[in-house]
């Protein structure tokens, strides 16, 4: 369960996030939808304890992001923008490194990593160095790394970026699986269709503020548009940020 209230964050003179609040319950997939530069990544980075908000507050399973970051870090798994893997380590070693940082060791760590390799269908490349991996393989490794401590909450920053159709479909299945396990899943995207096929709730962000929050049906009802893309554009406005 992730909750945020009126977050704001400024970098120098650029106000990336003005006023963003959201509630993402367990067992549901919540999409953070918005055009490029809307403040999606910044919001997710605040939730992941990477950035501190200038104003506002956020909680993960009741732990405050600002006051108790270590408890938050134990409760969430994050797939950051661009994966960020170690090219000279194998897929297995990349996952095991973060598992060890979470305090897993010995047989418990090995079993957990094996289970993830199995679950994410990484057997074919688990013991190869990450350096030459395709984007789809990299995302899987990064996802396994994010899940190594079995977090209740999962944050995915534009996970489908650069993936082909097959890899996107495989990732979609994984995300649905995470929901079925009762986890709280939050992901960001700028692709409406992707959101439509996957999410339960949607939070639309434009220029640092929330334009809409609710289910897809509510979005259609609110905007009076049956086409979701039209509804999206109605909410964020047509002008570029």
Whole-angstrom Cα distance, residue 159 to residue 155? Answer: 10
Question: Residue 53 Cβ, how far from other proteins at the closest point, in Å?
Answer: 11
Residue 97 in the binding site for other proteins (CB under 8 A):
yes
Coil, strand or helix: which one is 199? coil
Closer to other proteins at the Cβ: 143 or 174? 143
Number of residues located near other proteins, criterion CB under 8 A: 33
Closer to other proteins at the Cβ: 81 or 234? 81
Question: Residue 25 Cβ, how far from other proteins at the closest point, in Å?
Answer: 22
Nearest to 117 by CA among 79, 136, 144: 144
Quote the DSSP letter at residue 39: S
The single residue among 14, 67, 86, 134 that binds other proteins, judged by CB under 8 A, is 86
DSSP for 219-239 reads HHHHHT-SSHHHHHHHHH-SS
Reported as half-sphere exposure (CB side, CA atoms, 13 A), residue 25 has a value of 6
Residue 48 in the binding site for other proteins (CB under 8 A):
yes
Question: Residue 209 Cβ, how far from other proteins at the closest point, in Å?
Answer: 22
Nearest to 241 by CA among 202, 211, 201: 211
Contact pattern from residue 111 through residue 150 relative to other proteins, giving x for each residue in contact according to CB under 8 A and a dash for the rest: ------------------x------------x--xx----
Question: Residue 70 Cβ, how far from other proteins at the closest point, in Å?
Answer: 5
Nearest to 178 by CA among 44, 29, 58: 29
The single residue among 55, 87, 197, 237 that binds other proteins, judged by CB under 8 A, is 87
Give the pairing type, strands 201-206 and 209-215: antiparallel
Closer to other proteins at the Cβ: 60 or 199? 60
Contact 117, 145 (CB under 8 A): no
Coil, strand or helix: which one is 16? strand
Residue 98 in the binding site for other proteins (CB under 8 A):
yes
The residue range among 21-29, 94-102, 168-176, 208-216 that interacts with other proteins, by the rule CB under 8 A, is: 94-102
Q: Give the tokens for residue 80.
A: 């950051």
> Which residues of the shown chain bind other proteins in the complex (CB under 8 A)?
11, 45, 48-52, 70-71, 73-74, 78, 80-89, 93, 97-98, 100-103, 129, 142, 145-146
């Amino acid at each position: 369960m992730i909750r945020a209230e009126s977050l704001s964050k400024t970098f120098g003179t650029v106000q990336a996030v003005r006023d963003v609040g959201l509630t993402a319950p367990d067992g549901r997939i919540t999409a953070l939808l918005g055009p490029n530069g809307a403040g999606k990544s910044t919001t997710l980075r605040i939730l992941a304890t990477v950035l501190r908000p200038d104003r506002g507050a956020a909680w993960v399973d009741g732990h405050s992001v600002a006051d108790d970051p270590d408890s938050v870090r134990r409760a969430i798994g994050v797939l950051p923008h661009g994966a960020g893997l170690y090219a000279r380590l194998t897929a297995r070693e990349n996952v095991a490194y973060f598992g060890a940082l979470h305090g897993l060791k010995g047989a418990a760590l090995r079993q957990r990593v094996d289970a993830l390799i199995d679950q994410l269908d990484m057997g074919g490349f688990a013991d190869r160095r990450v350096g030459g991996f395709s984007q789809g393989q990299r995302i899987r490794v990064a996802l396994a790394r994010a899940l190594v401590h079995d977090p209740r909450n999962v944050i995915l920053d534009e996970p489908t970026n650069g993936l082909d159709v097959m890899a996107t479909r495989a990732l979609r299945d994984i995300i649905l699986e995470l929901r079925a396990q009762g986890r709280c899943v939050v992901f960001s995207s700028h692709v409406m269709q992707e959101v439509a096929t996957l999410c339960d709730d949607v939070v639309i962000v434009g220029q640092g503020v929330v334009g809409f929050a609710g289910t897809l049906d509510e979005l259609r009802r609110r905007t009076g548009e049956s086409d979701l893309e039209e509804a999206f554009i109605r909410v964020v406005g047509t002008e570029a940020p």
